[in-house]
Amino acid sequence: MISVQLDKSFDDEIGQFVRAFQTLPKNIRNKYLKSAMARTLRPGRSVLKRYTPPEGMKRGRRKKGEKPRSTGQLRAAVAVRTKASKDAVFGVLGYKAGAQSRKAIWLEFGTTKGIEPRRMVERAMAEFGPQAAASLAKSMATAFENALKDKIPAGKGKYRGN
């Protein structure tokens, strides 16, 4: 999970963009910050899919020379979600809710009945985290430029006419 706190002060490049976004109306700010977060996390889907074991494999690995089989629903359930609240924007790289999410939790942390922890998300974030942190500022810059184009002047509604 990556979060950007809007009520904190940062001195780095991301902090400058956060201060710039705070000058925009809330609905426009949230819309473009969520899109920047999703754009940043989207390449992480392939990293997490790579660490997710194929379905039907007891040990999570193929035998030497065996052809790859269907990876099943668990890999298809890898998703990116973004959410904006009053004072923060969150981006989550994980699995869709439901049975596949529960299965991913069992595989990630293991169970007392014999499933060994695989640490799929932990390894994926260790590999993808630095890349995401580096590209977040670039995504925020692009989002801020687009937000300035979308900003509606005070008193002018989107459908009221100019």
d(CA 3, CA 152): 27
What does the alpha-carbon distance between residue 47 and residue 133 come to, in Å, rounded to a whole number? 15
Residue located via tokens 């995401």: 132
CA–CA–CA angle 44, 47, 53 (5° rounding): 135
User: Structure pTM?
Assistant: 0.71
Task: List, for residues 6-32, the tens digit of each pLDDT value.
Answer: 766 666 777 778 888 878 888 888 888
Element (H, E) at 30: helix 26-41
pLDDT, mean over the chain: 79
Q: Which residue has the higher pLDDT, 18 or 34?
A: 34
Rounded Cα–Cα distance for residues 26 and 54 (Å): 42
Q: What is the pLDDT of residues 101-125, one digit of tens each?
A: 888 888 888 888 887 888 888 888 8
Query: pLDDT digits over 49-61, tens only?
Result: 888 876 555 555 6
Concatenating the DSSP letter of every residue in 122-154 gives HHHHHHHHHHHHHHHHHHHHHHHHHHHHHPPPT
| Contact by Cβ (8 Å): 18, 141 | no
Q: Where are the domains of the chain?
A: 2-60+69-147
- Other CB atoms closer than 10 Å to residue 68's CB: what's the count? 7
Hey, what long-range contacts does 128-137 have (CB within 8 A, 24 or more apart)?
Answer: 128/43, 128/44, 128/47, 128/48, 128/93, 131/43, 132/2, 132/40, 132/41, 132/44, 133/2, 135/40, 136/2, 136/4, 136/14, 136/36, 136/37, 136/40, 137/13, 137/14, 137/17
